[in-house]
Amino acid sequence: MSAGTGTPTRSGPTSAVPGTAAFATAVEQALTAFFATRTDSVAELGPVFTDAAEALESFVLRGGKRTRPGFAWMGWLGAGGDPAGPQATAVLNACSALELVQACALIHDDIIDCSRTRRRFPTVHVDFEQRHRDRGWTGDPAHYGESVAILLGDLALAWADDMVHDSGLPPAALARFAAVWARMRTEVLGGQLLDVHGEASGDESVAAALRINRYKTAAYTVERPLHLGAALADADPALITAYRTYGTDIGIAFQLRDDLLGVFGDPAVTGKPSGDDLREGKRTVLVAEALARAAETDPAAGDRLRAEIGTDLSEQQVGALRSLLTGLGAVDAVEARIATLTEQGLRAIETSSATPEAKDRLRAMALAATRRTA
């Protein structure tokens, strides 16, 4: 792990703008400083745990737009937070802890989805599966890899709490933050469970897919991060309501865009094989929309979609399913829903009491999240 001990850096605030390289760097510096504080306690458990903790650190610092800390930071700024004030670095540290929640979710999600790559690297469970195989250890390499990854995902969530409590926030702000943080953790885990249940039960409804998006993605990607920032600034209830409306709508639109990229995205840009969502059998809104339309106009197309998703599809088969989804009108329906949700979210923030600078930035962040190509 990173060398050093002590508390996360509080050397000064950052004025970096969310969504920029400078902001991502500021978040990564806060995370690196936090990992350094874990060095001694990790080393006490020996080299096996040290290697695993270093793998977690590498996973967290490997990349990403730092979207969740960005929304939390902007929520604080928009409610009157001062980026040059004495609490700015503590706020940044607390916001950066969201990346550890994200790490937990991604590591566990990759196991659930049987994903082999993440950001063009082997997923954590695949990495440790290969380590087991390379060393010729006893037992099943795949089971070992999944076991280690589950534990590292748990460790990331535990360390997220530690990072918040070590952030330097004053007690009153920490108490307000903690109440929202607790709700967010429950929502993201509950959303994941809804997703697992939806796939197992075969629930094909658009409503079920949207509910999963609401809690698995929107709540902890946009809505609660903004709410966390507002809580740190002790914002009024009306602004919190506006933030949450914006966050829910933009967060769902973000996931809908992700659903489209999971089927139509360029692997060189997304970092995942094209069509993986179809191979994994994900019951996305895109698939639900297609099945609903097939039931009305082309039942055979619906039967084909049900039979083929969740199987080891060839590139040719993926291409044929793309054509099927497009032909049924599902892609256009998802694009229209993204546009409507984005418009609703932007309207909520425009009529709020957020600062003019925050309104401008949140508009840009919404458009970046919902029009992105990766």
> CA 82 from chain center: how many Å?
26
Task: Return the percentage of the chain with pLDDT > 90, whole number.
Answer: 83
Q: 67 and 99 share a domain?
A: yes
CA–CA gap between residue 174 and residue 164 (Å, rounded): 8
153-187: per-residue pLDDT in tens?
999 999 999 999 999 999 999 999 999 999 999 99
pTM over 0.75: yes
Where residue 149 sits, what CATH number does that domain have? 1.10.600.10
Q: 276 and 361 share a domain?
A: yes
Residue-averaged pLDDT of the chain = 93
Q: What pLDDT is recorded for position 9?
A: 44
Report if residue 225 sits inside a domain. Answer: yes
Q: What pLDDT is recorded for position 277?
A: 87
Q: 174 and 121 share a domain?
A: no
Report if residue 235 sits inside a domain. Answer: yes
Which residues are CB-neighbours of 327 under 8 A, at least 6 positions away? 301
181-196: per-residue pLDDT in tens?
999 999 999 999 999 9
Report if residue 239 sits inside a domain. Answer: yes
C-alpha distances in Å from residue 329, one per residue of 211, 277, 335, 350: 21, 18, 10, 32
Of 169, 197, 216, the one marking the end of a domain is 169
Using the predicted structure, report yes or no on whether residue 7 has a pLDDT greater than 60. Answer: no
Low-confidence winner among 2-16, 36-50, 141-155, 307-321 (lowest mean pLDDT):
2-16
> Where does the pLDDT of residue 202 fall: very low under 50, low under 70, confident under 90, or very high at 90 and above?
confident
Q: What number of residues does the chain have?
A: 374
Using the predicted structure, report yes or no on whether residue 348 has a pLDDT greater than 80. Answer: yes
Q: 196 and 90 share a domain?
A: no
How many CA within 13 A on the CB side of residue 316?
Answer: 0
Using the predicted structure, report yes or no on whether residue 10 has a pLDDT greater than 80. Answer: no
> Which residue in 8, 127, 112 sits closest to 56, CA to CA?
127
Phi/psi at 113 (nearest 5 deg)? -90, 0
Report if residue 4 sits inside a domain. Answer: no
Return the residue matching tokens 């967010």: 184
Q: 163 and 204 share a domain?
A: no
Q: 49 and 184 share a domain?
A: no
61-100: per-residue pLDDT in tens?
997 889 999 999 999 999 999 999 999 999 999 999 999 9
206-239: per-residue pLDDT in tens?
999 999 999 999 999 999 999 999 999 999 999 9
Beta strands 117-118 and 121-122: pairing type?
antiparallel
Q: 192 and 312 share a domain?
A: yes
Q: 106 and 186 share a domain?
A: no
Q: What pLDDT is recorded for position 14?
A: 63
Q: What crossing angle do the helices spanning 330-350 and 356-370 adopt, rounded to 10°? A: 170
First-to-last alpha carbon distance for the chain, in angstroms, is 29
Report if residue 209 sits inside a domain. Answer: yes
Q: 143 and 265 share a domain?
A: no
CA–CA gap between residue 243 and residue 227 (Å, rounded): 7
Where is pLDDT greater, at 373 or 246?
Answer: 246
Report if residue 1 sits inside a domain. Answer: no
Q: 113 and 238 share a domain?
A: no
Using the predicted structure, report yes or no on whether residue 276 has a pLDDT greater than 70. Answer: yes
Q: What pLDDT is recorded for position 265?
A: 87
Low-confidence winner among 106-110, 113-117, 165-169, 192-196 (lowest mean pLDDT):
113-117
Using the predicted structure, report yes or no on whether residue 5 has a pLDDT greater than 50. Answer: no
Q: What pLDDT is recorded for position 280?
A: 83
Where is pLDDT greater, at 341 or 271?
Answer: 341
3-class secondary structure per residue, the chain: CCCCCCCCCCCCCCCCCCCCHHHHHHHHHHHHHHHHHCHHHHHCCCHHHHHHHHHHHHHHHCCCCCHHHHHHHHHHHHCCCCCCCCCHHHHHHHHHCHHHHHHHHHHHHHHHCCCCEECCEECHHHHHHHHHHHHCCCCCHHHHHHHHHHHHHHHHHHHHHHHHHCCCCCHHHHHHHHHHHHHHHHHHHHHHHHHHHHHHHCCCCHHHHHHHHHHHHHHHHHHHHHHHHHHHCCCCHHHHHHHHHHHHHHHHHHHHHHHHHHHHCCHHHHCCCCCHHHHCCCCCHHHHHHHHHHHHHCHHHHHHHHHHCCCCCCHHHHHHHHHHHHHCCHHHHHHHHHHHHHHHHHHHHHCCCCCHHHHHHHHHHHHHHHCCCC
Q: 212 and 164 share a domain?
A: no
Of 146, 169, 192, the one marking the end of a domain is 169
Using the predicted structure, report yes or no on whether residue 8 has a pLDDT greater than 60. Answer: no
* Number of domains forming the structure of the chain: 2
Which residues are CB-neighbours of 230 under 8 A, at least 6 positions away? 75, 76, 78, 79, 239, 240, 243
Quote the tokens at residue 63: 């990349």
Residue 118 sits in which domain range?
Answer: 9-169
Using the predicted structure, report yes or no on whether residue 12 has a pLDDT greater than 80. Answer: no
Report if residue 320 sits inside a domain. Answer: yes
Q: 106 and 207 share a domain?
A: no
Of 131, 149, 169, the one marking the end of a domain is 169
283-330: per-residue pLDDT in tens?
899 999 999 999 999 999 999 999 999 899 999 999 999 999 999 999
Using the predicted structure, report yes or no on whether residue 11 has a pLDDT greater than 60. Answer: no
> Where does the pLDDT of residue 16 fall: very low under 50, low under 70, confident under 90, or very high at 90 and above?
confident
Q: What pLDDT is recorded for position 64?
A: 81
